[in-house]
């Protein structure tokens, strides 16, 4: 029941006399239970029944009972559980049961090392979590093994307006005590980093006095084999990062190049992407060249875009958007073009479905679809 009864406490006694006389608490005999006493305190010693609640809802245009349609129920934010085990021999079942008992509506399980920060399930959970949600773990070590990683995850949650809770540890960032504990941990982490920095500097200075210089001997000597090994390691890391985002840009490049200029391709690719995942033209060119070098894309995508008439540019852009998602509606294409800040054929900034339909028909006549 919504605790909003204070509004009618100041209305004239006429209303009380006509609508609430049968419900006066003093007219009832016998002992009241705890819920009646609590309700009587909130309603100025007036005990309500279903008829009275309906009358109040009619007079004040709002309901104080969850059974009535327009009652303002409290919004419960979901609890999202995360369970992790290190080896295949271990089972996440005890963690999942504890998370379920804690009220988690979603439970994500993962088999990975706690020292590995690039965990796909954890990354997906942090990407999907929203404002007001709470990430729940059984123990802190199930989320992170190092204090720096723990603080990094909690900082990402705070940026999104989400919270973190550990069942067996005194950490709940939704409460003042939990925030205080987190601040203490942050201060300890900063102190630990400072000590590590000082010890590293002292060790390097001691080694230099003894004639030892740190680093890879092959790189210091400019050994071709060592340089090639480092270069290949960097390329492998770069290709792994590209493979994680290949679904965002490879289909567009394969379909649109070299018919469209790189500037237009970049705008089409960035249309549905969030701000932190958008591409620049130089970064996209570097990625395409890497894929062409490894034969993941044909070399023709790097050909120079031929001159295109101004009348064919908009049909080509609309055809590219429609080709990436054939089920996209005309209104969705309008929103995408406005997000790309593409002007209509008449120079306006607001797009209409009729304009998009006309451009799609022109693209079909030109063989673009």
Are residues 88 and 134 located together in one domain of the fold?
A: yes
* Residue 256 confidence (pLDDT): 82
Are residues 29 and 88 located together in one domain of the fold?
A: no
Are residues 304 and 350 located together in one domain of the fold?
A: yes
* Residue 77 confidence (pLDDT): 64
Please report whether residue 310 resides in a domain. yes
pLDDT-wise least confident of 8-12, 85-89, 244-248: 8-12
The CATH number given to whatever domain includes residue 132 is 3.40.50.1390
Please report whether residue 33 resides in a domain. yes
Please report whether residue 358 resides in a domain. yes
* Residue 80 confidence (pLDDT): 92
Flag whether pLDDT at 50 surpasses 60: no
Are residues 354 and 259 located together in one domain of the fold?
A: yes
Flag whether pLDDT at 268 surpasses 90: no
Please report whether residue 169 resides in a domain. yes
Residue 166 φ/ψ, nearest 5 degrees = -115, 130
The H-or-E segment that residue 1 falls in is none
Are residues 42 and 89 located together in one domain of the fold?
A: no
Closest CA to 251 of 323, 329, 328, 339: 323
Please report whether residue 90 resides in a domain. yes
3-state secondary structure of 108: strand
How many domains is the chain built from? 3
Flag whether pLDDT at 285 surpasses 80: yes
Instruction: Please count the other Cβ atoms lying within 10 Å of the Cβ belonging to residue 140.
Output: 16
Quick: pLDDT tens for 74-112. Answer: 445 688 999 999 887 788 899 999 999 988 888 999 988
| Spatial strand order in the sheet of 171-172 | 106-111, 79-85, 134-137, 163-166, 171-172
* Residue 108 confidence (pLDDT): 92
Please report whether residue 342 resides in a domain. yes
134, 157, 181 — which closes off a domain?
Answer: 181
Inter-residue contact 80 to 129 (CB < 8 Å): yes
Flag whether pLDDT at 34 surpasses 50: no
Please report whether residue 221 resides in a domain. no
**What is the length of the chain?**
369
Flag whether pLDDT at 64 surpasses 70: no
Q: Residue 301's domain spans which residues? A: 241-365
Cα–Cα dist 13/4, whole Å: 19
Quick: pLDDT tens for 131-168. Answer: 889 999 998 888 887 777 888 888 888 888 899 988 88
Please report whether residue 208 resides in a domain. no
List strand residue ranges (DSSP E) for 24-91, in order: 79-85
Inter-residue contact 316 to 267 (CB < 8 Å): no
Cα–Cα dist 121/311, whole Å: 46
Are residues 42 and 87 located together in one domain of the fold?
A: no
Are residues 317 and 268 located together in one domain of the fold?
A: yes
* Residue 310 confidence (pLDDT): 56
> Which candidate in 86, 148, 166, 355 is catalytic?
86
Instruction: Please count the other Cβ atoms lying within 10 Å of the Cβ belonging to residue 183.
Output: 10
The H-or-E segment that residue 284 falls in is helix 281-293
163, 181, 199 — which closes off a domain?
Answer: 181
Are residues 35 and 111 located together in one domain of the fold?
A: no
Are residues 275 and 338 located together in one domain of the fold?
A: yes
Cα–Cα dist 305/151, whole Å: 48
In DSSP terms, which residues pair with 106 in a beta bridge? 80
Question: Is 350 annotated as catalytic?
Answer: no
């Amino acid at each position: 029941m919504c605790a909003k009864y204070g509004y009618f406490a100041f209305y004239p006694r006429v209303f009380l006399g006509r609508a609430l006389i049968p419900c006066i608490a003093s007219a009832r005999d016998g002992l009241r239970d705890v819920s009646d006493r609590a309700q009587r305190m909130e309603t100025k010693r007036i005990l309500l029944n279903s008829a009275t609640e309906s009358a109040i809802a009619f007079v004040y245009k709002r309901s104080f009972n969850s059974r009535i349609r327009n009652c303002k129920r409290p919004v419960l934010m979901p609890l999202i559980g995360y369970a992790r085990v290190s080896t295949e021999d271990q089972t996440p079942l005890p963690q999942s049961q504890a998370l379920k008992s804690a009220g988690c509506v979603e439970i994500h399980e993962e088999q990975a090392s706690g020292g590995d920060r690039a965990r796909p399930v954890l990354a997906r959970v942090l990407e999907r979590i929203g404002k007001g949600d709470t990430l729940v773990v059984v123990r802190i070590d199930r989320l992170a093994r190092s204090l720096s990683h723990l603080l990094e995850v909690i900082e990402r949650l705070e940026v999104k307006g989400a919270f973190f809770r550990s069942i067996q540890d005194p950490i709940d960032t939704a409460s003042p005590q939990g925030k205080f504990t987190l601040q203490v941990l942050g201060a300890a982490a900063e102190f630990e980093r400072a000590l590590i920095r000082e010890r590293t500097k002292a060790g390097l200075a001691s080694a230099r006095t003894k004639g030892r210089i740190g680093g890879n001997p092959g790189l210091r000597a400019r050994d071709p084999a060592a340089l090639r090994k480092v270069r290949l390691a960097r390329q492998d890391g770069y290709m792994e990062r590209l493979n994680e985002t290949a679904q965002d840009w490879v289909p567009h490049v394969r379909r649109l190049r070299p018919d469209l200029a790189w500037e237009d391709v970049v705008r089409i690719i960035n249309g549905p992407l969030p701000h932190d995942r958008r591409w620049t033209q130089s970064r996209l060119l570097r990625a395409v060249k890497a894929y062409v070098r490894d034969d993941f894309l044909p070399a023709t995508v790097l050909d120079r875009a031929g001159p295109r008439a101004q009348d064919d540019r908009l049909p080509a852009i609309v055809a590219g958007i429609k080709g990436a998602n054939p089920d996209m509606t005309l209104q969705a294409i309008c929103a995408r073009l406005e997000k790309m800040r593409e002007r209509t054929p008449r120079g306006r900034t607001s797009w209409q479905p009729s304009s998009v339909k006309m451009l799609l028909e022109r693209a079909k006549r030109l063989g673009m679809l």
